[in-house]
Amino acid sequence: MYPSKHAIVTFFICIPFFFIYKWWVLLIFASAILIDFDHYMTYVIRFKDINIRKAYWYFRNMAKDKSNKKVLLLFHTWEFLAALLITGLFYPIIWYIFLGFFIHILEDLYDYYTENKVYRRRLSLFFNI
């Protein structure tokens, strides 16, 4: 899902959360968008290039790639999400970040499912799924 689409969908998802979490919803919204920073980190590590435009287009064009090669995006893994959840039980600020990340991952999975795209991300640090 493109960042602009994430922002729009997340905005509407966050509206009812405002009545529960008040202004913390801004952190939920921001974390749901900023989770994609791991795309940029992965690009920089892989290609030793800090050009953010090239990183954006690299991942945008990845959907056209017909290989079964999957990329590891740290913030998009279940283990990272579980660590946030557990930490969030003790630190409320992390709870809001977890909610944003969780919303983002659900949006990604929904987008891939409804668009019949090949999911090019590893969902686990330890297993190739």
pLDDT-derived band at 126, boundaries 50, 70, 90: confident
Our count of domains for the chain comes to 1
For residue 70, being part of any structural domain is answered with yes
91-108 mean pLDDT: 95
Q: Please count the other Cβ atoms lying within 10 Å of the Cβ belonging to residue 103.
A: 21
For residue 76, being part of any structural domain is answered with yes
For residue 66, being part of any structural domain is answered with yes
For residue 53, being part of any structural domain is answered with yes
- pLDDT tens digit string along 65-77? 666 577 888 898 9
Left, alpha or beta for 63 (phi > 0: left; psi -120 to 50: alpha)? alpha
Please state, rounded to an integer, the average pLDDT across all residues of the chain. 88
